[in-house]
Structure 1
Amino acid sequence: MDFNFANGLLALSAWIRNQSWLQRIYRRLPQRVRNRVLFTLAHRASVRAKFPRTEAWSRPLPATAAQTPVVAPVAGSGVNIFGYMRGQFGLAESVRLYARALIGAGYPVALFDVAIDLPHGFDDHSLDAYIGEHTPHAISILFVNPDYLKPALEHIGQARLRGQRLIACWFWELQDIPADWLPAIELIDEIMVASDFVKDAFERVTDKPVFRVPLPLSPIPDSGLQRGDFGLPEDTFIFLCTFDFNSWVHRKNPFAAIEAFRRAFPEGRNDVQLLVKSSNGHRHPDKFLELLKVSAQDPRIVVRDEVIDRAHVHALQRCADVYVSLHRAEGFGLGLAECMAMGKAVIATNWSGNVDFMNEDNSCLVDYSLVPVGEGEYPHPPGAMWADADVDHAARQMRRLADDRGLVKQLGRRAAGDIAQYLSARAAADALIAHVESGSRRVISAAETQ
């Protein structure tokens, strides 16, 4: 975001705070009016925080590689997949990744779009060729978390699910499952997860089968945008931090990344930059304005807030030198895995789902201490804990990479090799197909005995 504009917002905010008569008037306003003021300020700030547009942004986007299978079809019973097929957020991208893995393996799939109202963008059409109303298979996998399970099932319709074995693929970011999620477990037959962290959490609250299939990474189309198209300098070492405000800003913890950057690089060192790429800031005006306030203290920190196509996100990741995530908790850590897959060095909190594929040899892990989840910071059961990244350690990791470009390349090579092996689309497809086929045999056997 424009540094001068951000500072202008801060100056206006400070002036308002110093006017006691305005404060008295503001406190008397109804809460809905106060909220409207915040939304208006956040909306204007969000418009200014978009990426600058060059002609390259108007070029046609490349097609998704998985739109056509590249191998001979695999014989099998097939599976129905229900999820937010066109959504532009983490869970929606996850359903597409698993679907592409199965499609790429030639396994029969039927995709059904769960088009319920959520505060997200729904403009990803990369799998439209496979989406339909027909769901003929005996096994279904549902990519809708428990808090939206009932409206999703109503949208799908009981007729479409009758007689099927229902697997729910669920993501969660804490060690303890919320109590209000437990009734949803009674509505499904099995739970599929992407990490050991989530597997352990669900196994503590149910005896139903819980199995793990790591998120399969498939080739992501690259829009071809370059640093100049994103308004980034060519000769600067760029750290990238990305998150969605809808995914709870305290969990993603960009403020820690900002503080670590400022501790790592004192004023006057201008060969480094931190790009904080967020989305849906206008939906969370107080937190968005707080982010702008904190970032405006340093002109080397740039905030961009908007939902952009996955091909543009991939290009942005390519343009960065290092990806940073000082998260408090991750169910998996897709952004980290994607950047590692393309050979980027990454810095991340050494806790939760990402440690399945991150280690001291392929990344820069950051020390942490477990602290209670604060009220209002994230939906959580009483006593829930999450990680508080050691900001000083993160700053040392940032400085270490900025000062040693050879290490950056070395870590990137190791990361790419490890991710190619551990998060292989074909390996995930084979594991999921084997599980579905064994389940189909159980469904058929049960039907024959009735």
Structure 2
Amino acid sequence: MTQPSGILWIGPIGDMGGYGNVSRNYLRALKHIDLPVLLLSSAKINKEIGEEDIELLNSFLKSKKPLGDNPILVIHGTPESFIGIGKEGFHKTIGITLFETNRIPLHWANFCNDMDEIWVPTRFNYQTFTESGVDPSKVHVVHYPIESSQYTKQFDSYPFPAEVKSYKFIYTLAFDYRKGLDLLIPSYCNEFTAEDDVSLILKIYVPGWISQKNLFELVSSYIPNKPNNPHIHFMIENTPREDLLRLYSSCDCYVSTERACGWGMPQMEVMAMGKPAISINWSGVTEYMNDRNSFLIEPENELEFVHPELQRTRAIHYYRHKWAKVNEDNVRKVMREAFENHKKREELSLQAKQDIRNHFSPQVIAEQMKARLFF
């Protein structure tokens, strides 16, 4: 076994989004591997990631240990980020990425094959990447880690407005057609009424390609035009990390109707808290969510083409791609069960908390990483 001398890690380490969150969790795993690590990122550290994550990054950024003469290059991001970076002088080059639909964008295969290894978080992506032209010998499943202790401490209650009901479903998302609000909102509204003691909390990050006004118009169009709709509470303001965790802790059940989900860090986080989570039983979430630890929405046996707007506006990534086809009745049935079946919520939540702690801790994922870093 050859000993690598260090790691150059390139990725969005300080970003508030999913890639940044995953990068920092991988760095937590690297704390359990005795190698010097140099971090490079084009983005500044967003203060909203929270003090704990900022301290983690600073502990790496302050390190001045040389990488030595046998370093490994790791690039975390979309495969477009794998190109334009000099790969000479590295014993091994590793790209870490994922994709959500039934295949990867056509131009990604060459970018991936230019690396020595591609790490994907799920067996679902092992299949989609290799079936899309990436050399199977290069693709390896390395799970995303999570530090459970961040989520099991006591959190103050979140200060909801008075109209928010006792039982709270929550969904956090950066708006995208992939996220399935057009499925969740009518399913929720048609299953519950204003008489039910339930609210749907939608924490929506507004991306740059849509205005806040247009977003509200679009999302409002998903609400059925009928009397007695149940309560929905929209949140669009930026939320610091600690407040986001308070929000999760103060809600009763996480629900996602993302038709194609690469991994699902929010689901994993609430599961680590010991709270129930709902997801569609397809794509990346199947790596850690099952019928023993989660409420699962069963998709239809056939896939469907992704939303026409994605095919039109982001054709290079989504043209003719497919994702899970989901019947609204299945969403309604699962949400009703999660609302009414207290015993099942407790059983699933306890198992989820154990599964996340036992199988996805930084220490466990460090061993997966070691198997690929030491050669």
> Aligning the two structures, in what range does the TM-score lie when normalised by the shorter sequence?
0.7 to 0.9
Q: For 1:246-265, list aligned pairs within 5 A.
A: 249-265=176-192
Partner of 1:323: 254
Partner of 1:401: 338
Distance 2:134 2:33 in 1: 33
Q: For 1:11-410, list aligned pairs within 5 A.
A: 77-103=5-31, 105-115=32-42, 123-124=48-49, 125-126=54-55, 127-131=57-61, 136=67, 138-150=71-83, 153=85, 158=86, 162-204=89-131, 205-207=133-135, 208-218=137-147, 219-220=149-150, 224-228=155-159, 230-231=160-161, 236-245=166-175, 249-269=176-196, 271-281=197-207, 283-285=209-211, 286-294=214-222, 298=229, 300-369=231-300, 370-377=303-310, 379=314, 380=317, 382-410=319-347
Aligned partners of 2:48 and 2:239 also within 8 Å? no
Deviates most, 369-378 or 280-289? 280-289
Aligned partners of 2:252 and 2:275 also within 8 Å? yes
Secondary structure of 1:115 counterpart: coil
Q: CA deviation at 1:428?
A: 0.5
Post-superposition Cα deviations, 1:114-162, rounded to whole Å, max 9, x if no partner, equal: 2159xx96753341231269661511211021134336x3xxxx3x853
Q: CA deviation at 1:287?
A: 3.7
Post-superposition Cα deviations, 1:26-61, rounded to whole Å, max 9, x if no partner, equal: xxxxxxxxxxxxxxxxxxxxxxxxxxxxxxxxxxxx
Post-superposition Cα deviations, 1:165-222, rounded to whole Å, max 9, x if no partner, equal: 2100011111211112223124321100111111111122122411111111113367
Structure 2 CA distance for partners of 1:122 and 1:250, relative to 1, 3 Å: farther
Distance 1:307 1:107 in 2: 36
**Aligned residues: CA RMSD:** 2.7
Letter in 1 for 2:340: D
Distance 2:156 2:163 in 1: 13
- Report the identity percentage: 24
List gaps (5 residues or longer) in structure 1. Answer: 1-74, 439-450
Aligned partners of 1:84 and 1:114 also within 8 Å? yes
Distance 1:232 1:283 in 2: 33
Partner of 1:431: 368
Instruction: State the TM-score, normalized to the length of structure 2.
Output: 0.84
Q: CA deviation at 1:266?
A: 2.2
- Would you say how many aligned residue pairs link Structure 1 and Structure 2? 350
Letter in 1 for 2:97: W
Secondary structure of 2:107 counterpart: helix
Post-superposition Cα deviations, 1:41-82, rounded to whole Å, max 9, x if no partner, equal: xxxxxxxxxxxxxxxxxxxxxxxxxxxxxxxxxx97442221
Aligned partners of 1:281 and 1:288 also within 8 Å? no
Secondary structure of 2:309 counterpart: coil
Post-superposition Cα deviations, 1:75-117, rounded to whole Å, max 9, x if no partner, equal: 97442221111101001111111111121x1532414232159
Distance 2:218 2:308 in 1: 18
**Rg larger in structure:** 1
Aligned partners of 2:310 and 2:319 also within 8 Å? no
Distance 1:372 1:274 in 2: 28
Letter in 2 for 1:327: E
Structure 2 CA distance for partners of 1:253 and 1:364, relative to 1, 3 Å: same
Instruction: State the TM-score, normalized to the length of structure 1.
Output: 0.71
Distance 1:326 1:226 in 2: 26
Post-superposition Cα deviations, 1:270-299, rounded to whole Å, max 9, x if no partner, equal: x10000111125642234431145459746
Distance 2:164 2:101 in 1: 39
Secondary structure of 2:268 counterpart: helix
Distance 2:150 2:220 in 1: 30
Partner of 1:63: none
Q: CA deviation at 1:374?
A: 3.0
Distance 2:155 2:35 in 1: 33
Post-superposition Cα deviations, 1:314-343, rounded to whole Å, max 9, x if no partner, equal: 221111100001111011111111111111
Secondary structure of 2:374 counterpart: helix
Partner of 2:355: 418
Letter in 1 for 2:198: V
List gaps (5 residues or longer) in structure 2. Answer: none
Letter in 1 for 2:41: V
